[in-house]
Structure 1
């Protein structure tokens, strides 16, 4: 692991460095405590200097909030063009994450936070990072996300369409937006599919919904090891291990098998993720969407159907057109047999202060019903691959931090 170095009490010290954003270790680190002013912390962080917090835990959180207010106060108003507003918003969020990520804390060799009034973060860190391997410095923002994810995992998220709670893990997109789950719960099933695939399963929520609807055999996949562990945990909790097999890391199951129903809810925005935690929201170049549509026809049983769950937010932001989506569907040897639409119910849709409010206010989430086009040559089943999107995995869990698109 990379390391950071600093001087404390006239002694040179070092520790391993970890950041989920894959940010490199800061070159300069100074010690900060309860005497450090927010203006000083903001200036140093903007200059690239990291501050290792050694004061009271709650004072460190307050300092972080004060620095965040300074960053947010310098964000320019969004332009009228939706695509320009999106890219400006992403740059602003990236700058904000970099600046706030320079306030660090040190976890000891047991994942203990040795600060006054600090909570016990050992279990949360063990779940997110695995067994401790020695002292490690992490951004305070990341640690707060880890602790929040632990609470999500303990309490779970109520899914009305499932009649149960789903427990997201850290790094897996949480199913807090229930409208897409409701689409899968009410869409007419294609005949009597004996076998279904849930591609990019994430928390396993859609696989569980399909099982509750009576499907007896479901294969759930994901490219993310964290999502695979999360889905297996939820399948076990729900008593569905005999009906749902979780496999990966891959988009399509290995072996070239076919199914009567193939469901995929890829990340909705075709943009580069800033970190692994962003892969539940951003699908670089629409890779997962393209791979799903290119491989679907070759994985459908005769009379089978593919369900693509996708928001039109990318279209409203100027990142993809409806024509491009339909072209991808046709190029995959597929035809559209129907579509179910729903409006978002999450708070951002009504938040006029959101820089992307104009696009979010009109957003529509759709379940596209796709079938192999008999007029097109049937493509061979795709080869087993480990790429494709990470997906929250495609739809499940928030890094456990309650991320929303």
Structure 2
């Protein structure tokens, strides 16, 4: 079995940040989960700064290197979030007022035509929020030693997220929070009720908090032979675990993300699974026997990812989905099947049509054998305050059996 031991998948290159503090020049390694470039403007701040002043600096594109109490930095982040929320609410109210005015004009457009624009505006707002909150920075000595008052021990979580660090470094407070949160996910695990197990996500690997598709995989009739199965884009390895539970003799799980491969292997080891092989490849495994079953839960929304973690959600131009469909036939054994796990949220958002999906399936020489559907159970599908509630509440997740 392959166990990928590499680290630092999110650090594209060794970038450094330089700043002047007092009369001293400083230089440190720059770390960014989203691969943002090192900030160009930095000011030193501490507990004396007000939230309003920090918000003004963040909006002006200035990053702030924190020299105060650790817990006061957490409070500052929360205060910045409240100010961003208020600004976003004012924008929403302004847009609603304009919509009422447009409703009385001939230029008014239908709600369905507005959905793609609303989706992209919502993504832009999320990106802007992330950048603003990411402007509060922390500096670390070698081995992620954080020398702030009341700071917790963070070196283990940072090493798991970013790899070994034998020099000083700087990252955003939000990225540190992400690493600490990921460490808790990894320790406690995410319960999978349908299997009575837990899976343990690693940093940079999408946690399977939405699990309605697991029951679909358990309910789907198995193909005639259960010798070989592929799990394409394995992530935490959850789909491969389901296949093992259902009796497949040999399972080959693939992913390009080294963090995902390490995570999946960890989960297989925890469960004592010895019949799953891992390959770091794009889509289909190499030097593998034909598959009786190919399973894939690709990113559901055709949009450009803005960070490595978003590759689990967004698939620019549906490239992975189309690549999977076009290549599946040549990797299937006789009477083999493809189980495609896919939400129709993109259709409700008018980002992709059902006709396009069916066309891609037919162009790949595949046909739909059957489809199993389930309704969403996640919180956003019930949240009427969500700007995309109309689409989310109508969402259906399906297992498409193709042959």
Tell me whether the two structures share a fold, i.e. TM-score over 0.5.
yes
Query: For the Cα contact (< 8 Å) 1:5–1:29, is it kept in 2?
Result: no
Tell me what 2:38 maps to.
25
How far is the alpha carbon of 1:256 from its aligned partner?
5.8
Q: How does 1:3-402 map to 2 (within 5 A)?
A: 3-75=16-88, 76-77=91-92, 80=111, 81-240=114-273, 242-255=274-287, 257-371=289-403
Question: Is the 1:343–1:363 contact (alpha carbons within 8 Å) kept by the matching residues of 2?
Answer: yes
Q: Deviations over 1:128-160 (max 9, x none)?
A: 111113111101111101100000000001112
CA contact (8 A) 2:77 2:133 kept: yes
> SS where residue 310 of structure 1 aligns?
strand
CA distance in 1, matches of 2:144, 2:20: 22
Shift of 1:194: 0.8
Q: TM-score, normalised by structure 2?
A: 0.90
2:300 is paired with a residue whose SS is coil
Check whether the contact 2:303–2:314 (CA below 8 A) recurs between aligned residues: yes
Answer yes or no: is the 8 Å Cα contact 1:270–1:284 preserved in 2.
yes
Residue 202 of structure 1 contacts residue 231 of structure 1 at CA under 8 Å; is this kept in 2? yes
2 CA distance for matches of 1:98 and 1:357?
25
What are the superposed Cα offsets for residues 211-233 of structure 1, whole Å, 9 maximum, x if unpaired? 01111111111111111111111
List runs of 5+ in structure 1 lacking aligned partners.
372-405
Deviation at 1:5, TM superposition (A): 2.2
CA distance in 2, matches of 1:16, 1:237: 35
State the alpha-carbon separation in 2 of the partners of residues 54 and 312 from structure 1: 47
Q: Structure 1 residue 285: deviation in Å? A: 1.1
- Per-residue Cα deviation, 1:282-327 (whole angstroms, up to 9, x for no partner): 1111111011000111111111110000000011111100000000
Separation of aligned partners in 2, 1:344 and 1:228? 28
CA distance in 2, matches of 1:43, 1:327: 50
CA distance in 1, matches of 2:343, 2:328: 19
How many residues were matched structurally?
A: 370
Q: Using the alignment, how far apart are the partners of 1:126 and 1:249 within structure 2?
A: 25
Output the CA distance in 1 between the equivalents of 2:71 and 2:213.
38
Runs of 4+ in structure 1 deviating by more than 3 angstroms, as ranges, are none
1:346-380 Cα deviation digits (max 9, x unpaired) = 11111111111111011000000000xxxxxxxxx
- Quickly say closer, same or farther: Cα 1:198–1:304, change in 2 above 3 A: same
The offset of 1:32, in angstroms, is 1.0
Local SS of the residue matching 2:87: coil
Greater percentage in helix: 2
* Structure 2 runs not aligned, ≥5 long: 1-13, 97-110
RMSD between aligned residues? 1.2
Provide TM-score, normalisation by structure 1: 0.89
Aligned partners of 1:5 and 1:28 also within 8 Å: no
